[in-house]
A and B are shown apart, each in its own frame.
Chain A
Amino acid sequence: MKVGLAQISPHLGDVEKNFDLHLQYIKKAKKKKIDLLIFPELSLTGYTLKDLVEEVALSAEGNPYFDQLKAASHELCLVFGFVEEKERGLFYNSAAFLSRGKILHIHRKVFLPTHGMFEEGKFFAQGRNFHTFSTPYGKTGMMICRDFLHYGASYLLFASGSEIIIVISAAPGRGVSNNENYETSRMWELMGEAISRFSTAFLIYCNRVGFEDGKHFAGGSFIYNPMGELVAKASYLDQGLLIREIDLNDIREARKKWVYKRDDRPEIILESLRRIVREDED
């Protein structure tokens, strides 16, 4: 299976331009015979939207952009980010998985960072679920950026059987030091390594690049295989299409050797969580 990570720099608040940018990458991906092409978080709109959220929002149904992207998904699976108006006046930071002309799943970002430089909770409604869904390449789960830093979210995808975990991101780099790059780049890679290894699943992370209002999105998109080995990593600064062939048989190999999935006990976790939530009440 050939995966493509479109590490782009979207135009802020301009869906038309971003849609064209998506078509350009889809065209390139088709030429390269890519099976799954992934774009970053809010790839159709840009990230620092603030009050532009309502202007760039789309409904996944009966929308010309979506219809064209669905049509494009006959030849390859597509993942991208957009502002979704799910119900009138309710706006979500969403990720869509399209395949063979259909929407297989829409994930709505659950953990909306709202602190320091982040203000997503001011402008977006909160998603409520993490789902594993079937795709032509196996059971898949999606997260958006901060979702991935709450490791309970990864556990839910693991427990529900995800073999491929896709994270789309618009992560600004922060913390320069004497190290190779930002402190936060290491943070994403650490999580990628840990979650792929202990979920015995592919972990595909697609971040964006470019600047918005001085925030520098720090690229570094990557793929870890189910053994927790880094198999692809993009530049921290530059746009581009990262292409990597992955072997889905690796999932089977990893799970034969490391039996975390076989031995998982979601019912114990659930009971413990119920107790914790109960006891935590005021």
Chain B
Amino acid sequence: MTGPKLSLNLSEGLLEKMKINAPFVEKVLAAFIKEELSKFNYKRGIIGLSGGLDSTVCAFLAAKALGARNVIGLILPYGKAFSDDVKDAQEVARLLRIKSKVIDISPIVDAYFSRYPTENRISKGNKMARERMAILYDFSVREKALILGTSNKTELLLGYGTIHGDMACAINPLGDLFKTQIKQLAKHLGVPEKIQKKVPTAGLWPGQTDEKEIGLSYNEVDRILFELVDKRMSRKEIIASGLKAEAVDKILQLIKNSEFKRKLPPIPKISARTVGHDFLFPYDWGK
């Protein structure tokens, strides 16, 4: 998946346009977390803490919305592979005074791969993401806590996440914020500088970084996504505005190829009324 580095001439103007009023967004997202949990009769939220920016921001918002004693952070490393990140995640939990627990997923993952070995590191990464999901859902029941997702808008649009893995959650508070906007929110929330400055990684294998894998910086990716999605500009218009066709096409391809991660699977409609087609009820039905 590693691609060539496509350099772009970025106008600072657009990143300026993407700026958010962080105090306002904080209030809206905290209100969302609080209201969604109460709709489903939950008091507590549970988050998979990776030590990275998104899950840290989510934990900060959850602590604000629900109170620290109602937030649980699960830290789910694969052996010693990311020991610095584990320390950072523990530091976040200490800082926020939320309950946290470290569970090493390596025995579960290794048990499977010793039987069905593979050299495909994406397969391994996906398996780890899904084991984390399974543990989060189990602890959701044990702790009577709803799972707060940590996928951001950039990842959702690029499909940069494991379906039924890190993308699985009950509510997704950060899903409409680009990575660059989350950085801005993190600064406002007082997230530790060390975490603010971390190079984003999906943590599929040591040394992996999102930007290396995508072949573009997050600033570049977000600029293209912002123009394509938020501003509804066409491919032609974006290229005419000075962005490289190769980069725009790459992003468009990633969006198209990952639509299946943003939808429920299609059902062949043969009856008069069908789930997913014309059996249309709100998510918040009766809440």
Which residues of A come within 8 Å of B, CB atoms?
9, 11-14, 48-52, 173, 176-181, 210-214, 216, 237
Q: A177 and B32 in contact (CB under 8 A), knowing A50-B281, A52-B281?
A: no
Residue pair B284, A12 in contact (C-beta under 8 Å): yes
Q: How far is B20's CA from A176's CA once the two chains are assembled, in angstroms?
A: 6
For A179, list chain B residues within 8 Å (CB).
21
Residue B264 is within 8 A (CB to CB) of chain A in the complex: no
Q: 15 A-B contacts, Cβ less than 8 Å apart? A: A11-B286, A13-B285, A13-B286, A50-B280, A50-B282, A52-B281, A176-B20, A177-B21, A178-B20, A178-B21, A181-B21, A211-B284, A214-B32, A216-B32, A237-B27
Q: A12 and B21 in contact (CB under 8 A), knowing A210-B35, A211-B36, A216-B28?
A: no
Partner of A11, one of B20, B27, B287: B287
A164 → chain B closest CB, angstroms: 32
Partner of A177, one of B17, B282, B284, B286: B17
Q: How far is B29's CA from A173's CA once the two chains are assembled, in angstroms?
A: 13
A13 nearest CB neighbor, chain B only = B286
Q: How far is B35's CA from A261's CA once the two chains are assembled, in angstroms?
A: 46
A114 → chain B closest CB, angstroms: 14
Chain B positions 16 through 30: 1 when the CB is less than 8 Å from some CB of chain A, otherwise 0: 010111001101100
Q: From residue 2 to 44 of chain B, which have CB atoms closer than 8 A to chain A?
A: 17, 19-21, 24-25, 27-28, 31-32, 35-36
Chain B positions 56 through 82: 1 when the CB is less than 8 Å from some CB of chain A, otherwise 0: 000000000000000000000000000
Q: From residue 252 to 287 of chain B, which have CB atoms closer than 8 A to chain A?
A: 279-287
Q: How far is B266's CA from A140's CA once the two chains are assembled, in angstroms?
A: 49
Chain B positions 76 through 104: 1 when the CB is less than 8 Å from some CB of chain A, otherwise 0: 00000000000000000000000000000
Q: Which of B17, B20, B21, B279 has the most CB of A within 10 A?
A: B21
Residue pair B282, A52 in contact (C-beta under 8 Å): yes
- How big is chain B's contact interface, by range? 20 to 34
Residue pair B280, A12 in contact (C-beta under 8 Å): no
For A214, list chain B residues within 8 Å (CB).
32, 283
For B25, list chain A residues within 8 Å (CB).
176
B273 nearest CB neighbor, chain A only = A51
Q: How far is B282's CA from A13's CA once the two chains are assembled, in angstroms?
A: 9
Q: How far is B121's CA from A95's CA once the two chains are assembled, in angstroms?
A: 59
For A52, list chain B residues within 8 Å (CB).
281-282, 285
For B284, list chain A residues within 8 Å (CB).
12, 48, 211-213
Q: How far is B20's CA from A178's CA once the two chains are assembled, in angstroms?
A: 4
Q: How far is B253's CA from A147's CA once the two chains are assembled, in angstroms?
A: 39
Residue pair A176, B282 in contact (C-beta under 8 Å): no
For A211, list chain B residues within 8 Å (CB).
31-32, 35-36, 284
A112 → chain B closest CB, angstroms: 16
Q: How far is B36's CA from A49's CA once the two chains are assembled, in angstroms?
A: 17
For A11, list chain B residues within 8 Å (CB).
286-287
Partner of A237, one of B28, B286, B287: B28
For B21, list chain A residues within 8 Å (CB).
176-181
B33 nearest CB neighbor, chain A only = A211
For A176, list chain B residues within 8 Å (CB).
20-21, 24-25, 28
